[in-house]
Structure 1
Amino acid sequence: MIIVEEVQNEKQKEEFLEFPVQLYQNDKNYIRPLNKHIEEIFDPQKNRFFKDGECARFLFKRNHKTVGKVAVFVNSHYKQNQPTGGIGFFDCIHDQETANFIFDHCKSWLLERNMEAMDGPINFGERDKFWGLLIEGFIEPLFGMNYNLPYYKELFENYGFQIYFEQLCFTRPVFAEVSRIFRIAHEKNRRNPAISAQPLKKNNLKKFAKDFTEVYNKAWASHGEGKQLDETKVLKMFHTMKPIINEHISWFVYENEKPIAMWINLPDLNQWFKYLDGKFGLFEKLKFLVLKRFKKNEKMVGLVFGVVPEWQKKGIDGYMIWEGTQHLRKHTDFTTTELQWIGDFNPKMIKIAEALDTTVTRKLATYRYLFDRKKEFLRHPSL
């Protein structure tokens, strides 16, 4: 018999965080997320989605031993064809009956809130963290990326979940040959005296936040599910990232003083966080500073890449990539560039990634389960 406990007290919160450690103790690729990054998601004071949503966490126990956990939530900002709730932070022993019990519990919780489907595993927040189930490429996860045991795919699909969209993760060696097309584009634009490239500098975050906002809103906000960014919020985000910004790996291109392209990268924090065992108290903060100073980080993660419409298809992307690549090869220890996941519904962005001579090294999936089993299942529409 399985007993359900809603996570409410400190002991239950600790168990929610510690249970995965037991499951993954023999998995050399597992990197434990920081506890604080998970707990912030479930803190109404820190997660703005609580203003228009509801979330609960549950532990599932058999014979007083935890056999599974999950978070289930509704989010009014998550607009879908039918009212759709979410489940996330799912972990379970290798047992279909236990998984089915957990999924049934989530379904009942969501039905009580008039939902007609559930997606998972997803985050009670933005798509940039803890989103999707790893189905291919069981290697070390990047910071904020979900990681799970291979049998989870069976647990989801045997219950009846279907893939709503796949999330492709691309990798490229820093010292791999850069496309001849990019080098030609670089040479062409290099001869234009109005064009220049600049790395992001920590001492002028206000300028670069303004330039980032301008390029992003022109390049991406009109595409699919894009949205306008606010300069004030971007500046706040830049200040939050300041301690981990590497000034050699994020670049902007200008036509005279006007920003026309940007390429934003950060070091993969998991290359340092994996030594902290999920904690980030005073000792761990000091340890992090030491690691950051002395431990080589060879992975950088591409977060955003954009060119304003009037400069697209003019080779400015090649100019920026070759300009930045030549510089970072000389001034950093990075050997690998990782791209954040791209949905299979976004062929334009996939083409950009492929043009960079990348390879797909991981594949995650966002699953959907329709409560009306007779309703036609539709994949995520293409952009």
Structure 2
Amino acid sequence: MKVINVVSKESVSEFLNFPKLLFREDENYIRPLDQDIENVFNPKKNKFFRFGECERFLFKNDKNETVGKIAVFINKKYRQDQPTGGIGFFDCIDHQKTADFIFNFAKEWLQKKGMEAMDGPINFGERDKFWGLLTEGFSEPLYGMNYNPPYYQSLFENYGFQIYFNQLCFGRKIHEPVADHFLAMHQRISKNKEIKAKPLQIKFLEKFAKDFTEVYNQAWASHGEGKQLTEMQTVKMFKSLKPVINEHISWFVYENEKPIAMWMNIPDLNQWIKFFNGKFGLLQKLLFLIIKKFRKNKKMVGLVFGIIPEWQRKGIDGFMIWEGTKHFRETTDFEDYEMQWIGDFNPKMIKIAENLETKVTRKLATYRYLFDETKEFKRQETV
């Protein structure tokens, strides 16, 4: 097996193009944008290079045909019981010996860096993109979500990887009946004239970003994986989302103009970018505007749902859900709703998803492989 470090223009191109060739007969595969992948490996774009390192490789057989690829990395802020590195952007033909060679290569690379375990497939970055191996629900992936054929699960598990945690996505049909208890909540809260629900408005983007920050930091401060956001961070995030924001599908609730709840959703970008074959230059950006205007997007994606502590379990969720739902049913063409993944180590967030009357639509897995097989394997602790 020939191993090629991906540094040249030709090898970068092969790294990006190989999955398309591998999945050419899979109608559900949507090629990610090349720039989204390349940004991961660009030290000027990816802050994780400040406290880590990353390399990527191609693997070729005796006929000089690409049969696999992988990225291997360490992140000094990724603190675990034992020093743990990461692998990601793994793709491989359906051949266990080839996969074993690739995994062994990654293991040896990480051992030289002092690692004692490897997690994968994960991202050299935040968990919101390119994280996990798809094990159930092989439909078109959401934007930024990993996709792979079913046989990858066997490649990982036959090598010895074990599930560190499962990642659950929840969804529902937009026009399915809303539960009676939500309607009852809405009817009861509607009598309180101090409570108002409002959709996000782009012309007041910074104001809604401030309100989002206030609710988010109160709602998630006590949860595992919770991170405090600054208003500056949120404004930057909202501005980056501005081209794709749909003003009908993100909702806020106020008590006397004080923000107490929010429900952030955006259209699934993959429903538009799947026509671009990974490219997003000037021509594709122009096409994006045209497609966005004339092609109906049938899927919306749930980003965040939050209620400040003093208003939790008081019916605000039902009020906001029905206010938003009855509005975007009338004003948009969305038919499907799916939430970004929630780790099975976080039952509180799973309960929130279930309370939205959703069902599991797909499952991904974050795997871990301990280099010392005599050590006890532990799953991610529940928060």
- TM-score normalised per structure 2: 0.99
Q: Which residue of 2 aligns with 1:16?
A: 15
Distance between the aligned counterparts of 2:284 and 2:176, measured in 1?
35
Matched letter for residue 197 of structure 2: A
Structure 1, unmatched stretches of 5+, are none
Q: Which residue of 1 aligns with 2:260?
A: 260
Q: Which moved more, 1:225-234 or 1:23-32?
A: 225-234
Contact 1:261 1:306 survives alignment (8 Å):
yes
Q: Once the 2 structures are TM-superposed, how far is the Cα of residue 296 of structure 1 from its aligned partner?
A: 0.4
Structure 2, unmatched stretches of 5+, are none
Q: Once the 2 structures are TM-superposed, how far is the Cα of residue 222 of structure 1 from its aligned partner?
A: 2.2
Distance between the aligned counterparts of 2:262 and 2:195, measured in 1?
13
Q: Which residue of 2 aligns with 1:156?
A: 156
Q: Which residue of 2 aligns with 1:28?
A: 27
Q: Once the 2 structures are TM-superposed, how far is the Cα of residue 78 of structure 1 from its aligned partner?
A: 1.4
Contact 1:198 1:252 survives alignment (8 Å):
yes
Deviations 1:332-382 (A, max 9, x none): 000111011111111111111112221112110000001110111111111
Q: Which residue of 2 aligns with 1:58?
A: 57
Q: Once the 2 structures are TM-superposed, how far is the Cα of residue 221 of structure 1 from its aligned partner?
A: 2.5
Q: Which moved more, 1:345-354 or 1:264-273?
A: 345-354
Q: Which residue of 2 aligns with 1:327?
A: 327
Matched letter for residue 209 of structure 1: A
Q: Once the 2 structures are TM-superposed, how far is the Cα of residue 171 of structure 1 from its aligned partner?
A: 1.2
- 1:5 lines up with 2:4 in the alignment: yes
Q: Once the 2 structures are TM-superposed, how far is the Cα of residue 9 of structure 1 from its aligned partner?
A: 1.0
Matched letter for residue 146 of structure 1: N
Residue 225 of structure 1 aligns to a residue in which SS?
coil
Matched letter for residue 362 of structure 1: R
Distance between the aligned counterparts of 2:88 and 2:34, measured in 1?
15
Distance between the aligned counterparts of 1:349 and 1:223, measured in 2?
9
Distance between the aligned counterparts of 2:23 and 2:279, measured in 1?
17
Residue 5 of structure 1 aligns to a residue in which SS?
strand
Contact 1:266 1:301 survives alignment (8 Å):
yes
Q: Which residue of 2 aligns with 1:278?
A: 278
Q: Which residue of 2 aligns with 1:37?
A: 36
Residue 74 of structure 1 aligns to a residue in which SS?
strand
Contact 1:179 1:356 survives alignment (8 Å):
no
Deviations 1:262-289 (A, max 9, x none): 0000000000011111101111111111
Distance between the aligned counterparts of 1:256 and 1:77, measured in 2?
41
RMSD: 0.7
Q: Which residue of 2 aligns with 1:378?
A: 378
Where do 4+ consecutive residues of structure 1 move more than 3 Å? none
Q: Which residue of 2 aligns with 1:91?
A: 91
Deviations 1:203-259 (A, max 9, x none): 111111111111111111221121111110110110011000000000010111111
- 1:134 lines up with 2:131 in the alignment: no
Residue 176 of structure 1 aligns to a residue in which SS?
coil
Distance between the aligned counterparts of 1:335 and 1:78, measured in 2?
38
Contact 1:4 1:58 survives alignment (8 Å):
yes
- TM-score normalised per structure 1: 0.99
- 1:353 lines up with 2:353 in the alignment: yes
How many equivalent residue pairs? 382
Q: Which residue of 1 aligns with 2:247?
A: 247
Deviations 1:62-93 (A, max 9, x none): 12111100001111221212111110000001
Contact 1:30 1:140 survives alignment (8 Å):
yes
Distance between the aligned counterparts of 1:351 and 1:221, measured in 2?
17
Matched letter for residue 360 of structure 1: V
